[in-house]
Structure 1
């Protein structure tokens, strides 16, 4: 029967697991009023409550998240928080673990800030690869800030103290209010267009998130991004980070720090130059000493005492090479003489005189054979021609007509049958010694 009963721990773990597995409890957005806040616990986890007119919830903010806050929470302050809801098992109470908190009323600005930051970051506006390096010894520096206030005084004081030869050019700018963003962007563009400034410092003193908002406007960010002149941004306090700070080539925590980043300390640079001069002098002195010692060592060398030793080895090599050349030439000439004798013997063996005589006798014999063959061919041709003439004479129509035959023509056409004739036709009769004309009076056909 006791198995049906749960312990308090079991029930609490079950409820906690329900909270942890609920996707709606993983990320909760709440608005409420801070209650029971202890301002003395600055360097530890924070435990307080959030409440409205009808309810209250315990809240925990761990130190790692709390130290990222850009404002100081106060008792009764209305805030916007983001966190997860879970159960604390020891007390069995549910509470919200806050990851992010901001004052209510400027939550829209924070949201706009985060959205702009995310979009510009995706474009690569904040990439380190786009940032320019600062010139080490600038001559003219443009300062974009308010004409009045401590910012310009701090920059002037710091620059005059560190590097008084630098010329500062002030571009009086609105740094707060609705028209501030346009004023800042226009002065950045105007200063960059001069093309005679080595560095631009965009600065203003501390203030609330709303006061610094013009430096989060996209028109200012785009002006800084497009500037060809390196830009140092110093907006607000060290804990404030604007989009202008992220876009600038260099970010400074304070206007004084911006001036220190822009110019070196003249006295330090003069000391460095003097040190470099001493090092250079020592280096040249050491090099001269080393070269002098090397020259003395070379002068003591045998080359200068007995210069003929330089070419003794070469002379001996020349003699050896000369002997080798003579020997090689002799062997070459001997081989060439042998080849020449062999070719001479082969040439004699191939004397063309005998061959020519032999070919001449062969040609004479062939000429005689050709004449005999031609004579025989002509005789045979004469006999054949005589035979053909006789054969033609036997077959000649004139011979046949001479034996008493004749042929009949009508209209210059030879008549072969009586079918081609009619009574009263005029015909021509050809005989061996001549022809005569006759008229058909009667036609008899043989069966």
Structure 2
């Protein structure tokens, strides 16, 4: 059938359709894994489709990954990244190009989850979500503690046991959530929002016990990390074991190595507090006794001095001291008064020297018209009446001539 078709005259469309059918009928090309380096990568946000090329040292092939497959990726493909792309080979009839239709893709070497982790960590760090400056201190003596974890497993038991043993005064508000699987992140976000709706919760502990990277992956969810960073209540993150670091740990106000450690960081130890109070009480008691002893010694010394000199003699000495102080005070007051009087007399003499009345006594007069001092003939007319103020008396003069 194929041979007969090729011997006939056919259109371009028929040729491309034939090649597509021929390639897709080859079982080895229907599910093939290709190793190559990504180049010319384009991700169209509106459609979600990804277009790129896979290349090695000698050749390359076009590839496409449609949105329904791209949505399953755990990492973000980038140019230069070496990957294993699995899919089928087919022909795009419109331009006759054959390409790889990718249904699954994973990094060649480092795992997809690890790459996704590093990519998101870098992105959020650049936004400042992990900055130490935005982290808040954990309250020293909390009244209410919110706990978010699975209701099953050892983590919830460990947290409750430690909180109850160390600081039984604190009330625990438990908000159960899923901690593994695709629906875990939304469940954790919902629990975090619920606790943030309360006004009297002092601290939140969020976490779970250990597991594989896949088991702990929900604590690397971008939306959950942002919710932890935006929490109005200080958050302690405790995910996995001491060697496990989730992105939630970096966004939280405090990271604990384990759920038990988170509970220890959230509250003080009541036994240590009691010991500290007793120690402070004993120290205060010692200081008080020392102070009383010193004061009693001072009183004893004073009593001894009074007994030796006699009370009347003591009073007489103090009376003489007071009289001497009064004499010194009178002398100082009189001296200050004399200084002020001399300064005042000097000021009066200086003012008198520059007084207009002093000048007028030497034969000068002050000319005014309409209560304004005349300094020149400007504005004066013949017939104006000018007032002259003399050393003794005043004159009203009529202007008969102006020079």
What is the TM-score of this pair, normalised by structure 1? 0.48
Secondary structure at the aligned position of 1:308 is classed as helix
The higher-RCO structure (CA 8 Å, 6+ apart) is 2
Structure 2 Cα separation of the partners of residues 310 and 289 of structure 1: 35
CA 1:282–1:103: 2 relative to 1, 3 Å: farther
Structure 1 Cα separation of the partners of residues 348 and 181 of structure 2: 108
Q: Does 1:317 align with 2:348?
A: no
- Give, in angstroms, the shift of residue 274 of structure 1: 2.8
In structure 2, the partner of 1:194 is 198
Query: Which of residues 321, 332, 335 is equivalent to 1:306?
Result: 321
Alignment of 1:141-290 (within 5 A): 141-281=145-285
Aligned length: 255
In structure 2, the partner of 1:438 is none
Structure 2 Cα separation of the partners of residues 311 and 265 of structure 1: 64
Kept in 2, the 8 Å contact 1:303–1:310? The answer is no
In structure 1, the partner of 2:130 is 126
CA 1:344–1:280: 2 relative to 1, 3 Å: same
Structure 1 Cα separation of the partners of residues 113 and 344 of structure 2: 102
Structure 2 Cα separation of the partners of residues 338 and 223 of structure 1: 85
Kept in 2, the 8 Å contact 1:141–1:198? The answer is yes
In structure 2, the partner of 1:109 is 113
Structure 2 Cα separation of the partners of residues 336 and 105 of structure 1: 102
- Give, in angstroms, the shift of residue 330 of structure 1: 8.8
What CA deviation, in whole Å up to 9, does each residue of 1:356-391 have, x standing for no partner? xxx9xxx9xx9xxxxxxxxxxxxxxxxxxxxxxxxx
CA 1:305–1:232: 2 relative to 1, 3 Å: farther
Structure 2 Cα separation of the partners of residues 262 and 208 of structure 1: 26
- Give, in angstroms, the shift of residue 118 of structure 1: 0.4
Structure 1 Cα separation of the partners of residues 295 and 342 of structure 2: 49
- Give, in angstroms, the shift of residue 126 of structure 1: 0.4
What CA deviation, in whole Å up to 9, does each residue of 1:198-247 have, x standing for no partner? 11001101100100000000111011011011101110111111000111
Kept in 2, the 8 Å contact 1:138–1:166? The answer is yes
CA 1:264–1:103: 2 relative to 1, 3 Å: farther
What CA deviation, in whole Å up to 9, does each residue of 1:53-95 have, x standing for no partner? xxxxxxxxxxxxxxxxxxxxxxxxxxx9xxxxxxxxxxxxxxx
What CA deviation, in whole Å up to 9, does each residue of 1:97-128 have, x standing for no partner? xxxxx997981111111110000000010000
- Give, in angstroms, the shift of residue 160 of structure 1: 1.2
What CA deviation, in whole Å up to 9, does each residue of 1:246-276 have, x standing for no partner? 1111111111100000011001112222333
CA 1:211–1:317: 2 relative to 1, 3 Å: same
Structure 1 Cα separation of the partners of residues 147 and 200 of structure 2: 13
Secondary structure at the aligned position of 1:313 is classed as helix
Structure 2 Cα separation of the partners of residues 293 and 146 of structure 1: 67
- Give, in angstroms, the shift of residue 328 of structure 1: 7.9
Structure 1 Cα separation of the partners of residues 278 and 148 of structure 2: 35
Bigger helix fraction: 1
- Give, in angstroms, the shift of residue 163 of structure 1: 0.7
